[in-house]
């Protein structure tokens, strides 16, 4: 599981994350909702070891992400809001490069298979990524998650800037990944997609996790009311 235990982050006297606790079990999608500056991205960065906590711990499969990163890093995948891929390379070349960095060696046929599983149209496999839409770039990133056989996936605003069709396609992909047992922790501003795609939602404000919501027992209207009440309070 993915687990935060009294997880906090401070910069000097400024607290950007205030002792939060959350759990994401195998095959679950957990979405953090909140305005800009709520602390959502900080949570993701703490789990992916881009930051170290001031106190508390971020644990993955029972291992601390600061002191035991080497044990779990091969099972972690992270897709930022703006995925850094090489525009002068095509999808196959980008995927091959990122796999090689992770010491994974695949044939061209296998790389194409991962791209297909991620939903990328085969007609685009050999086109340079500088001509890709954001949705196509995200699918290339998802192909890497599949190739890496990651068990834990962290997504920061993955649907930001996508058109409606691409958002639906991306939602279907992450549901397929969760159905295969992958634990997913993501951030979003999109209430509608969050309630439809997630098992749990955590509402954040000013570095605090205010409430956790079971999506099976909450309608979109109820989520919207809860969210707006917290944002104006």
Q: What is the rounded average pLDDT of the residues 16-37? A: 95
Residue closest to 214 by CA, chosen among 227, 228, 198: 198
The tokens of 69 are what? 């990163």
CA distance 23 to 126: 40
Mean pLDDT over all residues of the chain? 92
Whole-prediction pTM? 0.91
Q: What are the tens digits of pLDDT across the range 158-173?
A: 888 788 888 888 899 8
User: How far from chain centre, in Å, is Cα 16?
Assistant: 20
Q: What is the 3-state secondary structure (H, E, C) of 34-83?
A: CCCCCCHHHHHHHHCCCCCCCEEEEEECCEECCCCHHHHHHHEEEECCCC
Longest dimension (CA), the chain: 55
Is 107 a residue whose pLDDT tops 90?
A: yes
What pLDDT, on the 0 to 100 scale, is given for residue 160?
81
Q: What is the pLDDT at residue 83?
A: 81
- 44-101, pLDDT tens digit by residue? 999 999 999 999 999 999 999 999 988 988 889 998 888 888 999 999 999 999 999 8
Among residues 135, 133, 127, which one has the least CA distance to residue 94?
127
Query: Percent of the chain, pLDDT > 70?
Result: 100
| Residue whose entry in the numeric block shows the structure tokens 């999608």 | 29
Residue 111: pLDDT over 90: yes
Could you state, in order of their start, the residue ranges of all structural domains in the chain?
2-232
Q: At what angle do helices 134-148 and 108-117 cross, to 10 degrees?
A: 120
The proportion of the chain whose per-residue pLDDT surpasses 90, expressed as a percent, equals 69
232 confidence band (pLDDT: 50, 70, 90): confident
Look at domain 2-232 and name its CATH class: alpha beta
Residue 226 has phi, psi (to 5 degrees) of -60, -50
Supply 166's token pair.
């691409």
């Amino acid at each position: 599981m993915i687990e935060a235990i009294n997880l906090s982050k401070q910069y000097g006297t400024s607290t950007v994350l205030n002792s939060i606790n959350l759990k994401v079990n195998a095959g679950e999608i957990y979405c953090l909702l909140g305005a800009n500056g709520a602390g959502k991205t900080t949570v993701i960065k703490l789990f992916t070891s881009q930051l170290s906590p001031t106190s508390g711990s971020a644990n993955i499969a029972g291992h601390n992400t600061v002191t035991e990163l080497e044990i779990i890093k091969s099972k972690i995948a992270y897709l930022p809001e703006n995925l850094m891929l090489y525009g002068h390379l095509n999808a196959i070349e980008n995927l091959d490069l990122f796999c090689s960095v992770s010491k994974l060696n695949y044939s061209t046929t296998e790389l194409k298979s991962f791209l297909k599983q991620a939903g990328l149209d085969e007609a685009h496999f050999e086109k340079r990524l500088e001509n890709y839409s954001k949705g196509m770039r995200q699918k290339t990133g998802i192909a890497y998650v599949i190739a890496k056989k990651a068990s834990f996936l962290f997504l920061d605003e993955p649907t930001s800037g996508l058109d409606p069709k691409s958002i639906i396609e991306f939602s279907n992909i992450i549901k397929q990944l969760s159905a295969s047992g992958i634990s997913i922790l993501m951030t979003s501003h999109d209430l509608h997609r969050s309630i439809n795609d997630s098992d749990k939602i955590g509402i954040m404000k000013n570095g605090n996790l205010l409430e956790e919501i079971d999506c099976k027992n909450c309608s979109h209207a109820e989520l919207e009311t809860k969210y707006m009440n917290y944002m104006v309070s």
